[in-house]
Amino acid sequence: MDKGVSMEYTNYNKKGKVQGISSYEVVEATNSGGTTNATMAINMTDGKGKNAYSTDYNLTCTGNVVTLDYESLLPKDMMEQYGDMDIEISGNDIEIPNNLSVGQNLKDANVAMKISMSGINMNMTVDVTNRKVEKKESVTTTAGTFDCYVLYSENRSKMMMVNQVYPSRVWLAEGVGMVKQETYKKNGDVMSSTLLTAHSK
Residue-averaged pLDDT of the chain: 86
Q: If you average pLDDT over residues 162-188, what whole number do you get?
A: 90
Q: If you average pLDDT over residues 26-41, what whole number do you get?
A: 90
Three-point CA angle 185, 190, 194, nearest 5°: 120
Q: Could you tell me if 180 and 195 are in contact, meaning their C-beta atoms sit under 8 angstroms apart?
A: yes
Q: Give the model's pLDDT for residue 178.
A: 92
Q: If you average pLDDT over residues 113-117, what whole number do you get?
A: 79
Q: If you average pLDDT over residues 170-193, what whole number do you get?
A: 91
Q: Which CATH architecture has domain 6-200?
A: Beta Barrel (2.40)
Whether pLDDT at 175 is above 90: no
Measured CA to CA, the distance from residue 55 to residue 171 in angstroms comes to 23
pLDDT tens digits for range 68-99? 876 665 555 555 555 566 777 888 888 898 88
Q: If you average pLDDT over residues 88-116, what whole number do you get?
A: 87
Q: Is 84 left (phi over 0), alpha (psi -120 to 50) or beta?
A: alpha
Between strands 18-32 and 144-159, the pairing is unpaired
What is the identity of the amino acid at 153?
S
Between strands 109-117 and 86-92, the pairing is antiparallel
Measured CA to CA, the distance from residue 53 to residue 89 in angstroms comes to 21
Whether pLDDT at 155 is above 80: yes
